[in-house]
Amino acid sequence: MTENDTRVGFIGLGNIGAPMAKRLLDWPGGLVVCDMRPEAVEKFVARGAKSAATAAEVAQQATVISIVVVNDEQVRSVISGPDGILSAAQPGTVIAVHSTISDETAVALASECASRGVEFVDAPISGGAGGAKEGNLAIMVGGTESAYEKVREPFGRFAGLVVHAGEVGAGTRMKLARNLLHFVSFTAAAEAQRLAEAAGLNITDLGKVVRHSDAITGGAGAIMLRDTTAPVAEDDFWHSILTHVRGLGEKDLALALGVGERLEVPLPFAELALKGLGNGLGVGPGDIAKEQQA
């Protein structure tokens, strides 16, 4: 799709939806917005957007419709409720759900949409309100190639990265894998804070160090460069690099576990990391991990 007279609809003008929709105010085909709160809609109307009282009214005016609501139930209501999009959508319309919902919900809704000649993509976002305000979200799209092509340009207005993850449901599965890392990392960060606090350290300063160094090294994402999780052959380019990472990691994890043992601070994440780091990197456990498991 090129920038033409296709009007874009946007449903849900909350903390993330509003800054996303603002990026579409100058979309050549125009923007129509809908939200339960009149005051949220009025701000957009004042800047040239059209308003709609219901999702059905959005569908009467737009053929690419983004949805940013809270959960599966709200998404279903917006799409297939009494005043939902499907009650008025034109064949060929593309419905894009940016909310993080169940991948099974996405597949079921796609089937329902297809029965009406409407395309569906699950297009969850990563980057939060900050990324939305900066127009630098990452969007993971699950859907057909044709649907992806229709949404790619409008999505590019509020995203710095738009990835076609695969079929419907794939976008959601990619988002869940991404957030698994996110929240596991939060739990590991809490464990590190407990160790630091028990050692008499200022954990606020520790946080500053972590954010500073992760901004340079890339944090956990720094190792996510291979296209497979299979074991790395010894003659592979990555083998020496990942073996080096394993050595550093096992050494530091073992040292941290030693501090935790002395201070009587349980470090279950660190124990799991020491056992699984080498295999996770694809190069197998190193000497330190083998000694710990012996």
- Beta partners for residue 33, in sequence order: 10, 51
Residues 44 and 97: their CA atoms lie apart, in Å, by: 20
Q: Helix 103-114 to helix 170-198 angle, to the nearest 10 degrees?
A: 160
| Residue found under tokens 């200022």 | 202
E-strand stretches of 108-235: 119-122, 125-126, 137-142, 159-166
Question: In whole angstroms, how far apart are CA 287 and each of 16, 80, 128, 275?
Answer: 47, 58, 41, 11
- CA separation for the pair 141, 174 (Å, rounded): 9
Q: Which of 50, 133, 175, 208 is catalytic?
A: 175
Q: Is 120 exposed, middle or buried (0-12, 13-18, 19+ CB in 10 A)?
A: buried
The residue whose two tokens read 């297809």 is 114
Q: Which tokens go with 112?
A: 């329902």
Answer yes or no: 175 catalytic.
yes
Do residues 282 and 226 make contact, with C-beta atoms less than 8 angstroms apart? yes
Residues with a known catalytic role: 175
